[in-house]
Amino acid sequence: MNSFSESYKAAGVDVTAGYKSVELMKKHVARTKIDGVVSGIGGFGGLFAPNFKDMEEPILVSGTDGVGTKLKLAFLLNKHDTIGIDSVAMCVNDVVCCGAKPLFFLDYIAIGKNIPEKVAEIVSGIAEGCVQSGCALVGGETAEHPGLMPVDEYDVAGFCVGIADKPKMIDGSKLKSGDVLIGLRSSGVHSNGFSLVRKIFDINETTINNTYDELDKPLGETLLTPTKIYVKPILALMDAVEVKAVSHITGGGFYENIPRMLKDGLTAKIDKAAVPVLPIFKLMQKVGNISEHDMFNTFNMGVGMITAVDKEDVDKAIEVLKANGEDAVVLGEVIEGNEGVVFA
């Protein structure tokens, strides 16, 4: 390719760096190829041919999100190969809440200066997230933004499209008093609340390397742990039992997200002692002098996803989740009322 503009490069945009980025990321994108992928990256649109043959009423489900200020930690640690997992996770974990299987993902990377190796490192994480969730990376965009952001910083966002069969979708309509709430453990803070996290620890070039007795890794490494992806365990659970409702515990924590899976007249009663609170959350509460309410209203506290099943299906559900790598815990039950979430 002989495309090159000396004038554009002088303005801060090197188009040849973009071409090199695409070449470097191709091996990562190739890992995500699944049935239905029609085109490779590099075209004007990503092509995908979904298979509807076993569905009564196929519904496309979409989700979009970014990573937020967790990116600041990646900059400080100069580690860019996991942040892409977060980008995918925040989208696919939302989509699977209604029982949809993610099909494909597209990313958007805005960067101060396109360093091909860094971009490829970011995309390697995005590809890993796609592999973990069983969807294809069919395209994306890298935009060099000189003057808009520092040359060593970037932002990552993306969106995914999934598919569900309408008669099998999870919408909470069958939820009833007496159903049991099962929690799937989180891997850490995931990708929410990092503005508060950074304030609590006064995150900078020095403090990010602090060690604490409560943590088995330095602070920055602990906080940068990528968001856990729950797609495959939830889909496997749907094949085994009737899943009444699912909630992805993201920004807003328990108080904001659990009510989203409840219908009117029902409340989630959580046994506080059953919540597998991770050491990082206990440390944050102590260092930041944060109230327990605010902790549960901001963070996942060690539970990244909550499902509701009939009490007769609890043992089977725990067994299936365990077989799919999830050490699930019974958190509580659904009761009558309109209080959203209550703790016992």
Each residue's pLDDT tens digit, 229-250: 999 999 999 999 999 999 999 9
Mean per-residue pLDDT for 106-133?
96
pLDDT at position 9 is: 65
Distance, CA of 224 to chain centre: 13
Instruction: Report DSSP letters for 201-238, one per residue.
Output: HT-STTGGG---TT-SS-HHHHHTPPPPP-HHHHHHHH
Same domain, 152 and 204: no
Which structural domain, as residue segments, surrounds residue 288?
180-343
Residue 13 lies in a domain: yes
Lowest mean per-residue pLDDT among 5-9, 150-154, 249-253, 338-342: 5-9
Encoded amino acid at 72, one letter: K
pLDDT at position 5 is: 60
Residue 173 lies in a domain: no
Of 148, 168, 188, the residue at which a domain comes to its end is 168
The model's pLDDT over 309-343, given as tens digits with 9 standing for 90+, comes to 999 999 999 999 999 999 999 999 999 999 999 99
Q: Is 284 in a helix, a strand, or coil?
A: helix
Same domain, 149 and 231: no
Measured CA to CA, the distance from residue 99 to residue 321 in angstroms comes to 15
CATH code (residue 102) = 3.30.1330.10
Among 163, 48, 50, residue whose Cα is nearest residue 99:
163
Mean per-residue pLDDT for 218-226?
98
Of 144, 168, 192, the residue at which a domain comes to its end is 168
Same domain, 205 and 119: no
Q: Are the C-beta atoms of 251 and 192 separated by less than 8 Å? A: yes
Residue 1 lies in a domain: no
Which pair of tokens denotes residue 308? 């509701």
Average pLDDT, the chain: 94
pTM summary value:
0.94
Same domain, 222 and 281: yes
Same domain, 228 and 306: yes
In this prediction, residue 164 has a pLDDT band, given cuts at 50, 70 and 90, of: very high
Residues 6+ apart with CB under 8 A from 53: none
